[in-house]
Amino acid sequence: MAAAPSTSIHGPSAPPANMFDTVPGYEGTIAGGGGGYLPPLSVPVPVPEQAPSSPNWHIPCISEDQARDFFATYVSSKCCYSSDPVKEGVITNMESFNTYRYRLETFMESRSTEWSQKPYTGQPVDAGVQPAPGPWQIAAQPPAFFQEHKQTIKVPYTSSVKNCHVCLGMGRNPCTTCAGAGNKVCWVCNGSGYRQSDDRCMHCNGRGRENCSSCSGSGTRQCDTCHGKRQLLVFINLIVKWYDDLHDKHLSQASSGLRVENLGKVSGKELFKDAQYMVYPVRGFPDVFVGQASERLVRDHQVKYAQTSLILQQRQMIELIPITKVNYMWNVKPYVYYVYGNEFKVNADDYPATCCCSVM
């Protein structure tokens, strides 16, 4: 009887390269994946569409009363802020700044392949019956747009039967607990056969060794790879992934003085939204930097994913984030706070009446 490979004592070894047949169209497929994504079928470049008419994108500044109310709500939420600047402060000037946020999302499908295996229990074997369909010729059911999903599909006409490479077709491997010996040193007497006195060890009947409980003394265990079937069904799996690219965005902001990171916490008024198979860069927008960002990001997405993924849908959106800069005087000194976003959040980094609170 041929001995099982020594590597199986420490765990299954990788399948040898010659274990897998050459399948036309799948030459780069390897076991366990990692062969890279398959280039999609070529797609036409979209034809530019006429830019939509531009509405009035200006949003007027909030009123002084509204500014005070939002400021008061903000201050009341701070346990260490005195309300005196809210009650006594005098607004001297209010400026509105229109900040535009452009977003581009791309929903894609990618395909990769890997050799897979399972114990052979009489499943159909179809390798060579007819040519296997190409990776992008196999039908898959995509989810709704912009919902991530993964599907694994067995590629037809790639299944064949091979002897298990781990147990060499024996169905069993050396026991890892006893290294194939079938027994091990008695844990009671440490192999001496006697207890601390001259009494014979009753656990091992004085032999100094005991049968391995993991393999019942046989020295071998059922192969974990083929489950004792001795043969494996090997085939190619197609892994189809649908995913949404991280939202690329561009912020076109006038110099209001408000930190950019604050704007990531608020929403804006939707001015423009376009969703189609492949979008075309925004044209005719009053802020030239938004148009430039749209052109750059649309081009980058189409170039970035052309070799690895199939673009199924894109959508782009422009939001206007209103920012109002409020200048006010309190105790003969000038101060500033900002009201911004649809949520009318307030930022007042230089609030003049704070105290230190301590918890006893």
Question: Which residue ranges in the chain fall short of pLDDT 70?
Answer: 1-14, 34-37, 41-61, 246-247, 356-360
What is the chain's mean pLDDT, rounded? Answer: 85
* 293 Cβ contact list (under 8 Å, min separation 6): 102, 250, 252
Nearest to 180 by CA among 170, 191, 193: 170
The sign of the dihedral angle between the CA atoms of 198, 200, 204, 206 is positive
Entry pTM: 0.73
**pLDDT computed for residue 5 by the predictor:** 40
**Single-letter amino acid, residue 176:** T
Locus of tokens 């079937």: 229
Instruction: Please state, in angstroms and as integers, the Cα–Cα distance from residue 103 to each residue in 120, 252, 268, 285, 289, following that order.
Output: 50, 12, 12, 14, 13
Nearest to 218 by CA among 172, 187, 254: 172
**pLDDT computed for residue 9 by the predictor:** 45
